[in-house]
Structure 1
């Protein structure tokens, strides 16, 4: 059975994605709703009737997370629950392709968890701008990753 994100990881995502009942453009211009549900990637904005409830947003989030959980499970199955949840949060925010090409994943696969933890802070820019929200998110992910 595949692991799923823990409560701390889920709450971390919800803290930074912040519930939005109506469609909005994220910092890089992607149509989004709920807790960071990417309508472009899911090709479903025409199926979603805004405004949505918190319950609907949570259902979208849970459904969206499966892809990221499955990817992290496949890539680095030996992570503990907190490490796994931090990496899923990272992938949810940046995408599996970005995780796939990251030094963070390379270090995880090499067993260098300390080195991997130091990589979170490198991913704090959107469209070339350092975003304070991403700085805070990456630090919270790093702290969850290091938590025993």
Structure 2
């Protein structure tokens, strides 16, 4: 499965784009839509390069999320990819969110776990509240099974 236009547009909206390198909250040189690989302070990129890197970065995150074998639908894969793109795949792997999904938690329990991840630097951020709301709702949106789920059924 590839990054859908829906997910790409949502990531662009939620991440925001900066065409000049800056240091993120952790001090890491970052550019475009959260791209960090090989970035040096003083770098500048075009809007097209920012979009291309977002597509590459999000595709890699989606590949890692797929390896967890928990997303049964396209919407679940998109929601978890957005989450992992933001907090990191390592944090998703260690999260109670993933544990709750694996244990077959209820819709309310899973959505509650998404919504816990709204703090950065000890402050509740409106942008993270909105992002987690979208992810929590999108996780349960009607959509097609993932390719893995279709193969498992055969």
C-alpha displacement of 1:49: 7.3
TM-score by length of 1: 0.85
Q: Which has the larger radius of gyration?
A: 2
2:100, 2:3 → 1: CA distance?
21
Unaligned runs of 5+ in 2: 143-154
Aligned partners of 1:26 and 1:32 also within 8 Å: yes
- C-alpha distance in 2, partners of 1:142/1:63? 24
Partner of 1:14: 12
- 2:103 is aligned with 1:105: no
Which whole-Å CA distance do the structure 2 matches of 1:71 and 1:117 have between them?
Answer: 21
**CA-atom RMSD in angstroms:** 1.9
Report 1:34-49 matches (<5 A). Answer: 34-37=32-35, 39=36, 42=37, 44-46=38-40
Equivalent position SS for 1:60: helix
TM-score norm. by structure 2 comes to 0.82
One of 120, 123, 131 as aligned partner of 1:129: 123
Aligned to 1:59: 52
SS at match of 2:31: strand
Moved over 3 A (4+): none
Secondary structure class of the residue paired with 1:23: strand
Unpaired stretches in structure 1, ≥5 consecutive residues: none
Alignment of 1:69-80 (within 5 A): 69-80=62-73
- Alpha-carbon distance change, 33 to 128 in structure 1, aligned in 2, over 3 angstroms: same
Query: What is the CA–CA distance in structure 2 between the aligned matches of 1:24 and 1:8, rounded to whole Å?
Result: 27
Count, aligned residues:
141
* Cα distance in 1, alignment partners of residues 32 and 103 from structure 2: 36
Encode CA deviations 1:11-53: one digit per residue, 9 max, x unaligned.
Answer: 111101111111122334332110111x2xx2x014x973211
Residue pair 2:21, 2:42 contacting (<8 A) in 1 also: no
Q: In the superposition, relative to structure 1, how do residues 113 and 95 fare at CA in structure 2: closer, same or farther (>3 Å)?
A: farther
Match of 2:75 in 1: 82
